[in-house]
Structure 1
Amino acid sequence: MTRVARPVPTRPRRLRDSGWTLHGILAAAAAAEPDRPAVEFTGARGFTTAELHEAVGGMAATLRARGIGRGDRVALLVGNRPEFLTTFLACSALGAVAVPLNTALRGRALAETLRQFLPCPLVTEAALAPNLTALTGDAAPTALWSVDALPGAHRLEPAAEPVMPAPDIQPWDVATILLTSGTTGLSKGVMWSHATALTFADTSTWVMGYTADDVIHTCLPLFHINALLTALVPGLLTGAKVVVAPRFGVRTFWSDLADCGATVTNMMGAMGALLWRQEPTPAETAHRLRLAMVLPLPADRHEFERRFGVPTTEVYGSTDTGMPIGIPFGERRPGSCGKPAPGFAVDLVDADDEPVGPGELGELVTRPTAAFAGTLGYWRNPEHTAQVLRNQWFHTGDLLRRDDEGWYYYVDRGKDALRVSGENVSSVEVERALLRHPDVAEAAVFGLPGEFGEDAVAAAVVPRPGRTVDPAQLRAFVTPDLPYFAVPRYLDVREFLPRTATEKVRKAELRAEGLRPGMWDGGPSRRS
């Protein structure tokens, strides 16, 4: 079969382009290349475009028979398995709104999250039954459906006769509600239109240069925008094959890539650091990767690329905003997260929303320049939507710098930045200094109450396997590389860091724990 290479998009597509909806791009792919391998689930099954289109139509028929229609929400608590994808796209075909939930949610946390989207049914699987114990009373879904044999739940199977999609679904209709990571509190639901989701997928192609010859590998959870919209949907748009692994395995990651013939992949959160801390093996270079998106990049990008034999790239993106910044495919700018993506305007502002100049630290604000390229606000939360959309710009809360050539550089989360001795301290810059120590595998820097109402710099560190970390020696190690006010006062050596399912550190949890017993206190750092 001849594979058709599709050009990398350099501008947002017009909303009136044929089939510019999630189910529409699948229908177009199935009509153009029905026998093309579309997606393969490791350990489960694979689909050609025609087979996936048929399975989605069958699932849509089942959902419609159970009363799901235009505008209805369907919550998904399902892992990386084929039924997640077919149910997600079936909702699209019906004009319904899929709400993927973090599969790590359980008990009261799951109940509080689901309550935001009720009334709606919940689609889940037997392996996640222990998570459901608190879904009672006002947190109970209207129905419990399972993609496999779960006692007490109705089995959700595709019907033999597929359903035709609703004819009046538009690109600007809400297609899904995606949850924020919840690192600072209860996850909020962000409304994404079909156009928003497909713009994100197009921007991913603008960064990664996907073609029909690629094999896109992802082991990230499908409820997250990375796996869903930088892997699965771009594969349908470009003709690339997508391979979905059940989860990230630090010891099998490189062999998994080699086995499936992956040419591109994404790493998020601690993945890069966890792979770096492993002892080198021949498997880590026995792959076909031509590019990897790594967020965040390790402190020594050059050594990371040299050791694993793969060029890296990065972007700025979030569930709240989409992907307004990225490094265009074929370009490199070490340390930068990129330039404004097609369809977006970005700027940096101070506390009064006044623009800052090149080299100055400012909060990133963004807004779409193409219709419906941006997200549609927070579900049932107009107050927070209005708060972040001050002066017609979305305020990200993230601190960046811009150089004279228009490249942007991520510095820190606004909420994670610290104020010490009248100076701003970037937690990211302190973490990079800590990670340069040969015995440190992971580091998270956060603020604790300090003198005079300011912050005291605290750091939680995880040693490399078989190593130990001496807090006093570690502080002495980083002192020459940091301003005196940024040197950590408190050091907490831990076995692991609390993380979300997408491997982001829960710094709010570290701050809430405060001064733990045994945390080393080196006293305030003084100007030498």
Structure 2
Amino acid sequence: MLDFTTTVGEASPEPGVHPALDGSDLLEVMFTSGTTARPKGVMLTHANFVFSGLFVNWQLAMGQDDRFYSSMVGTHVNLQLSALAPVITAGATMIFEKRYSATRAWAQVRRHRATLIQSMAMMVRTMMAQPVAPDERDHQVRLVHYFLPITDDEKAAFEHRFGVRLLNNYGSSESLVGVLTERPFGPTRWPSVGRVGLGYRVRVASDAGHPMPVGEVGEIQVRGIPGVSLMAGYWRDPARTDACFTDDGWMHTSDCGRMDADGWFYFVDRNVDVIKRAGETISSAEVEDALLHQPGVVDAAVVGVPDPIKDEAIEAFVVPALGVKLDVEQIRKRCAERLAYFKVPEAIHVSSELPRGNYGKIRKDLLRKELMTAKGRSL
């Protein structure tokens, strides 16, 4: 091991060698969040970084006058490839905040004169819970950018209050950036995550690998160039790299979605979050949306747990607003008014908070483990 400070102090201010770099050379191994499985080392090349920067420049119509604000975790693609890389390729300005604070975030955005900011569902909800400031619409923000699985009401309320536009997109560490995206101008079809971005092809496919008809749900699969518009592969894991791609070159995402007749895509759920109950396929996101529409519920998560009769049972966790006491039976009745009978949770648990990983994603694996432990069973 080397002491960083000592090593830097002993180094010459000029590089001793000028290595010949190629776009395909490895620049970084970035590990996935590991919320559903063991973290995987995603190999990213120099070409991946350059491509990501130029792609997001197009995606957000960026120029050198833009000021990009982010409080995202620095070890993830959201900051590195969707903020820092495009700031460098556009010659724009990057504004880093080391951590997100709901009480300070919008004041920081205004003070730094940010024109672009990154956000996620948790940030939208916690910012909306803050007291209204008389001058909070006095800002220079033109776009709030990220994958935003929030309700129609939450989107409308946030845009109206802060006077901004939320721009949705969809991607993964393996696909680098938001391969499906809305654009800063032109039509939008919220809650669509957008249409196919430059340099990619996207399809919705069946388990057998066949394209699904318009409107039908299947796996979202992405086509690009490994090492340029897609990851170069998984670090020291050629078998997992091969398994990530179909025989004809489409990359698996393990996410479910559908496409309409005009090429707009809609995210449905993670494959691991799709619940199989008595022969019915249920999106946990749809049930969570119904729960979040209930008075007094500020956060929700839905998981499937093994059931000897129905294959899986639907169980939910809800977080009440401050000072609110939730009636779970009343919530179940209201959910039955919004959902088909087979989508209504069998059990609803009230919790003070939901476990989240480093990147803000709910740790549903921990919730399943908690339920199974309570039932005296193992996953």
Same fold, judged at TM 0.5 (above): yes
Q: 1:338 aligns with which of 175, 178, 194?
A: 194
Which amino acid in the other structure matches residue 91 of structure 2? G
Give 1:477 deviation, angstroms.
Answer: 1.7
Asked if structure 2 preserves the Cα contact closer than 8 Å seen for 1:388 and 1:395, the reply is yes
> What pairs with 1:197-216 in structure 2 (closer than 5 Å)?
197-216=49-68
- The letter of the residue matching 1:327 is E
Q: Secondary structure at the match of 1:443?
A: strand
Letter in 2 for 1:256: Q
Residue 185, structure 1, aligned to residue 40, structure 2 = no
Q: How far apart, in 1, do the equivalents of 2:53 and 2:10 lie? A: 27
The aligned counterpart of 2:171 is 317
CA distance in 2, matches of 1:431, 1:165: 55
SS at match of 1:372: coil
Deviations 1:390-416 (A, max 9, x none): 222111000010000111110000011
Distance 1:327 1:251 in 2: 29
**Quick one: distance in 2 between partners of 1:460 and 1:266?**
27
The 1-side partners of 2:319 and 2:169 are apart by: 27
Question: What SS does structure 2 have at the residue aligned with 1:458?
Answer: strand
Verify the 8 A CA contact 1:440 1:463 in the aligned structure 2. Answer: yes
* 1:319-364 deviation digits (Å, cap 9, x = unpaired): 1222322123313221111111111111111111111011000101
CA distance in structure 2 between the partners assigned to 1:286 and 1:157 by the alignment: 45
Partner SS for 2:58: helix
Partner of 1:94: none
Show the counterpart of 1:361.
217
- Residue 302 of structure 1 is matched in structure 2 by 156
Match of 1:326 in 2: 181
Please report the TM-score for the alignment, with normalisation by the length of structure 1. 0.67
What does residue 330 of structure 2 align with?
473
The structure 2 residue matched to 1:404, chosen from 245, 261, 268, is 261
Deviation at 1:228, TM superposition (A): 1.3
SS of 1:415 mapped into structure 2: helix
Distance in 1 (alpha carbons) for counterparts of 2:308 and 2:130: 40
**Contact 2:121–2:149 (Cα < 8 Å) also in 1:** no
Give the Cα–Cα distance (whole angstroms) in 1 for the partners of residues 150 and 299 of structure 2. 11
1:61-460 equivalence runs, <5 A:
143-146=1-4, 156=8, 159=11, 161-163=13-15, 166-282=18-134, 284-299=136-151, 300=153, 301-323=155-177, 324-331=179-186, 332-368=188-224, 372-391=228-247, 392-460=249-317
Alpha-carbon distance between aligned partners in 1 of 2:197 and 2:157, rounded to the nearest angstrom:
28
Amino-acid identity (%): 32
SS state of the match for residue 411, structure 1?
strand
Give, in angstroms, the shift of residue 298 of structure 1: 2.0
Structure showing greater Rg: 1
488, 492, 495: which one pairs with 2:345?
488
**Equivalent residue of 2:28, what SS?**
strand
Q: CA deviation at 1:157?
A: 5.1
Letter in 1 for 2:57: T
Q: CA deviation at 1:155?
A: 6.3
Q: RMSD across aligned C-alpha pairs, in angstroms? A: 2.1
Q: What secondary structure sits across from 1:449 in the alignment?
A: strand
Structure 1 CA distance, aligned partners of 2:354 and 2:16?
47
- The unaligned stretches of length 5 or more in structure 1 are 1-142, 148-153, 519-528
The alpha-carbon distance between structure 1 residues 429 and 259, as it changes in their structure 2 partners (threshold 3 A), is same
Instruction: List gaps (5 residues or longer) in structure 2.
Output: none
What TM-score, normalized to structure 2?
0.92
Asked if 1 retains the 8 angstrom alpha-carbon contact of 2:143 and 2:184, the reply is no
Please report how far the alpha carbon of residue 274 of structure 1 lies from its aligned counterpart in structure 2 after TM superposition. 2.0
Amino acid at match of 2:326: V
Mean alpha-carbon deviation: is it higher for 463-472 or for 389-398?
463-472
1:505 CA drift (Å): 0.7
AA partner of residue 449 (structure 1): P
- Residues 481 and 516 of structure 1, relative CA distance in 2, 3 Å threshold: farther
Q: Which residue of 1 aligns with 2:364?
A: 507
**Which string of whole-angstrom CA distances, capped at 9 and with x for unpartnered residues, describes residues 495-518 of structure 1?**
111111110111111111125769
Find the residue that maps to 2:329 and give its secondary structure. helix
CA distance in 1, matches of 2:371, 2:193: 32
- The runs of at least 4 consecutive aligned structure 1 residues that moved more than 4 Å come to 154-160, 515-518
Pairwise CA distance, 1:213: 1.5
Following the alignment from structure 1 to structure 2, what is the Cα–Cα distance between the partners of residues 472 and 516?
Answer: 23
TM-superposed deviation, 1:167:
4.0
CA contact (8 A) 1:206 1:329 kept: no
SS of the residue corresponding to residue 272 of structure 2 reads coil
- What residue identity is the alignment partner of 1:364? I
Could you tell me how far apart the structure 1 residues matched to 2:307 and 2:8 are? 54
Provide the rounded CA distance (Å) in 1 between the counterparts of 2:11 and 2:330: 64
Q: Secondary structure at the match of 2:171?
A: strand
Determine the C-alpha separation between the residues in 1 that align with 2:182 and 2:221: 18
